[in-house]
Structure 1
């Protein structure tokens, strides 16, 4: 059976993990997509040859070249307006995702990560609060088995995650942190179930609510 000192150790590790999570969840300035390049145009009265630098010439379209360029702009699947705005004259193959579609998918992915991180921060904060205000007082009269090693592992996972850039390693650590906190809460609920004391009812109810919010989609 665990004494209040063991719970205090677990709370200390969870609080350290919480500080790390809050720092990792701090908003970062958004990355702006690269601006499209605009092709240089020449007036009709310009010379037939334009000089980029000394000794280097750029050929001007022959008669009929403007018509070919216009046909390229009207390639299937791309409107002239889209071509003009993007600055890219190469046609997209059927089924090829457009750059703006990739940007939308990336935004949705980042939004999902922020939501998952937010739930993890909220659940950790709430767990520490419940342990301090509800579980610690009743633990003095009714000891129960605790698992402080899980809290140590949770803190270590969060510390490792904070060192990762947002990529596959970051997402893997975030999943592991979710799973570890889930195990901590579930073990607490199981330990409380062994003791049918009414003193633990508020704690059990609060822990179930934390677990539900953590796993919310």
Structure 2
């Protein structure tokens, strides 16, 4: 049987895990897409005939050059203006496949949604941990001063260690595995507390058990 001192040790480790989880739940800075350099943009704009102004003087040094220039100007006037529907979605750059261009924005959205989902799971784990610490401090700690219970501080130490390792990952498969382990570890901590309170005949344990069961239900709904 353990008293308030053992519970204070568990609370201290859970509070450390809570601090780490809050840092992991913070949103990542947005990734900026790579921008072409000024030199590349200027070079591309000067080499493409479409960027030439219709009134720009062009030196003609080969036979038939004037007629070719007139044809290019006519083609330029027939091009759709900015904001018009292209209709056929043909590639702007003949060397760039259309499907590849259309797939790239979709991939970026998929990654962003996945990150948002993981951050939501971490946020809910933060909420459950915060509520557990609050119940332990306000309800369970006063109860232990009268009725010592069986506690397991090692589970809280493991929970803190898992959260610390998860915060170092920030993303990827290892981050998701750590998140799952942290979820299971917190579930174990709550279940053991409920079992310890169930063996006590005191009516004062009922509000604590009820609060812990509510936290467990919300945690299992994640």
- Global fold match (TM > 0.5): yes
Higher helix share: 2
Deviation per CA, 1:22-78: give whole Å up to 9, x if none. Answer: 1222233211334589753223875799xxxxxxxxxxxxx9xxx9xxxxxxxxxx9
Contact kept, 8 Å, 2:26 with 2:119, in 1: the verdict is: no
**1:171 and 2:176 are equivalent in the alignment:** yes
- CA change 1:154–1:81 in 2 (3 A) is same
Per-residue CA shift, 1:142-197, capped at 9, x if unaligned?
Answer: 11111100000001111111111311111111111111111101111111111242
Q: Equivalent of 1:90, from 97, 100, 104?
A: 97
- Structure 2 unmatched ranges of 5 or more: 62-70, 76-85
Paired with 1:169 and 1:213, the residues of 2 have a C-alpha distance of 24
Alpha-carbon deviations, 1:104-152, whole Å to 9, x = none? 2212211110111001111111111100000011111111111100000
Match of 1:9 in 2: 9
C-alpha distance in 2, partners of 1:82/1:33? 23
1:186 aligns with: 191
- Call closer, same or farther: CA 1:210–1:88 in 2, change over 3 Å: farther
Within 1, Cα distance between the matches of 2:115 and 2:185? Answer: 22
Alpha-carbon distance in 2 for matches of 1:88, 1:105: 26
Structure 1 or 2, whichever has the larger Rg, is 2
Q: Show structure 1 runs of 5+ residues with no match.
A: 50-62, 68-77
Q: CA deviation at 1:208?
A: 1.3
Structure 1 distance, partners of 2:161, 2:116, is 25
Q: 1:80 to 1:212 in 2, by over 3 A?
A: same
- TM-score, normalisation: structure 1: 0.75
TM-score (norm 2): 0.73
Matches within 5 A, 1:129-144: 129-144=134-149
Q: Within 2, Cα distance between the matches of 1:17 and 1:194?
A: 28
> 1:154 pairs with 133, 155, 159, which one?
159
Higher relative contact order by CA 8 Å / sep ≥ 6: 1 or 2?
Answer: 2
Q: Which moved more, 1:146-155 or 1:23-32?
A: 23-32
Task: State the superposition RMSD in angstroms.
Answer: 3.0
Hey, which of these two has a bigger chunk of strand by percent? 1
